[in-house]
């Protein structure tokens, strides 16, 4: 079991692929806040959207809204509006009809770019072989489509950092996490592709709760983004309070970008993970070999994922990289403390 080594020198080229989504929105803001500074951590090549929490039209609209709120100009491409094989599920019960209920949502002044998200991913990977990190925080359909349309890009992917799955229980069925269940066949394609893949499952994202004091810290920033984030998190907390009895929402998706910023905050382990593609009660479950029962692990491509297991520090983000302190919309002069508060000690 190891904390991860340092990443290459920034900025890291990334594509955020998601289904905003309250926690997707926070993740996008976190990534974009690290993209505009004299020494940026990220080069956000674009945002790609997928069906998931709500339908594709609404997840794309929400991405457009978050982009405008951030004040950072990145292209947005809409992708898949349905899973590869199974019927579509959605999570209005958690995220509201808009997918981002809570704050007043303005009408975006700009639309998405022409072209499919999968095509954009293909183009970017071919243009930057070995450089691009894909950060999906929804069903893996866009990545699976890109890998199937252009198999030549698979070895060009630097890594995939996905929020989804779990080493233990689900959150949509007793067995399955939502993003995995929403398109298990896409997950299977990505898992077995051979790309280096880190799976931020519920087993670790449920350790990052946005308690009221932390939400208040966002509000205390006194910015539009800070207030927007606070209202989002207050709405998101309602479901978690009713379902789990927790005093805040789980910051699932922001764990991905947080890990790219500070991998040393997480304890991870390589693990053999398969997706249950059957139609039974375990459909969509990510079956993780926590105890290494399948050793020796299968040789060759696929299935061996890096699985974060716990968050191993609480104070580290106080030393946030310079870029996060310079974002023009989100006043990060205070955000080190508020974001650090999302983490629990081991």
DSSP 14-61: EEEEE---HHHHHHHHHHHHTTSSSS-SEEEEEEEE-SSSS-HHHHHH
Identify which of residues 177 and 253 has a Cβ nearer to Ca ion in the complex.
253
Query: Which residue of the set 22, 95, 206, 252 is catalytic?
Result: 252
Identify which of residues 19 and 177 has a Cβ nearer to Ca ion in the complex.
19
Identify which of residues 252 and 326 has a Cβ nearer to Ca ion in the complex.
252
Identify which of residues 52 and 226 has a Cβ nearer to Ca ion in the complex.
52
CA–CA dist 163, 136 (Å, integer) = 7
CA–CA dist 311, 181 (Å, integer) = 25
Q: Count other C-beta atoms under 10 Å from residue 223's C-beta.
A: 20
Give the nearest distance from C-beta 24 to Ca ion in angstroms.
Answer: 4
User: Applying CB under 5 A, which residues contact Ca ion?
Assistant: 18-19, 21, 24, 137-138, 253
Identify which of residues 19 and 289 has a Cβ nearer to Ca ion in the complex.
19
Give the nearest distance from C-beta 174 to Ca ion in angstroms.
Answer: 20
DSSP 314-337: SSGGGG--GGGG--SSS-TTTHHH
Give the nearest distance from C-beta 136 to Ca ion in angstroms.
Answer: 9
Identify which of residues 37 and 286 has a Cβ nearer to Ca ion in the complex.
286
Give the nearest distance from C-beta 183 to Ca ion in angstroms.
Answer: 12
Tokens of 316: 């580290």
- Residue among 202, 190, 225, 186 nearest 51 (CA): 186
Give the nearest distance from C-beta 18 to Ca ion in angstroms.
Answer: 5
Report yes or no: 118 and 56 within 8 Å, Cβ to Cβ. Answer: no
CA–CA dist 168, 58 (Å, integer) = 30
Pairing of strands 209-210, 249-250: antiparallel
Give the nearest distance from C-beta 137 to Ca ion in angstroms.
Answer: 4
Residue 252 bears catalytic tag: yes
CA–CA dist 28, 280 (Å, integer) = 34
Burial 3-24 (b: 16+ CB within 10 A, else e): ebeebeebbbbbbbbbbbbbbb
Which residues are annotated as catalytic? 252
């Amino acid at each position: 079991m190891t904390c991860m080594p340092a990443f290459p020198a920034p900025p890291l080229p990334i594509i955020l692929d998601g289904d905003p989504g309250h926690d997707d929105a926070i993740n996008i803001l976190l990534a974009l806040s690290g993209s505009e500074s004299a020494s940026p951590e990220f080069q956000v090549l674009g945002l790609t959207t997928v069906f998931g929490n709500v339908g594709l039209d609404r997840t794309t609209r929400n991405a457009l809204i978050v982009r405008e709120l951030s004040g950072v100009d990145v292209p947005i491409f809409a992708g898949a509006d349905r899973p590869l094989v199974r019927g579509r599920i959605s999570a209005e019960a958690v995220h509201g009809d808009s997918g981002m209920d809570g704050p007043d949502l303005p009408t975006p002044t700009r639309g998405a770019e022409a072209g499919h998200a999968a095509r954009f991913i293909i183009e970017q990977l071919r243009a930057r072989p070995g450089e691009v990190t894909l950060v999906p925080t929804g069903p893996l359909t866009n990545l699976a489509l890109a890998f199937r349309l252009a198999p030549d890009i698979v070895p060009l992917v630097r890594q995939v950092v996905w929020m989804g799955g779990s080493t233990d229980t689900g959150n949509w069925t007793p067995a399955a996490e939502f993003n995995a269940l929403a398109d298990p066949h896409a997950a299977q394609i990505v898992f077995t592709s051979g790309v280096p893949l880190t799976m931020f499952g519920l087993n670790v994202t449920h350790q990052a709760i946005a308690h009221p004091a932390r939400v208040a810290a966002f509000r205390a920033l006194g910015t539009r983004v800070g207030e927007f984030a606070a209202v989002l998190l207050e709405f998101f907390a309602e479901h978690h309070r009713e379902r789990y009895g927790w005093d805040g929402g789980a910051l699932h998706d922001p764990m991905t970008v947080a890990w790219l910023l500070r991998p040393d905050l997480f304890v991870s382990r390589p693990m053999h993970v398969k997706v249950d593609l059957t139609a039974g009660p375990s459909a969509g479950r990510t079956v993780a070999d926590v105890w290494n029962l399948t050793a020796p692990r299968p040789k060759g491509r696929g299935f061996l994922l890096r699985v974060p297991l716990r968050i191993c520090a609480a104070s580290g983000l106080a030393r946030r990289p310079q870029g996060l302190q310079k974002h023009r919309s989100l006043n990060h002069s205070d955000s080190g403390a508020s974001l650090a508060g999302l983490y629990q000690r081991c």
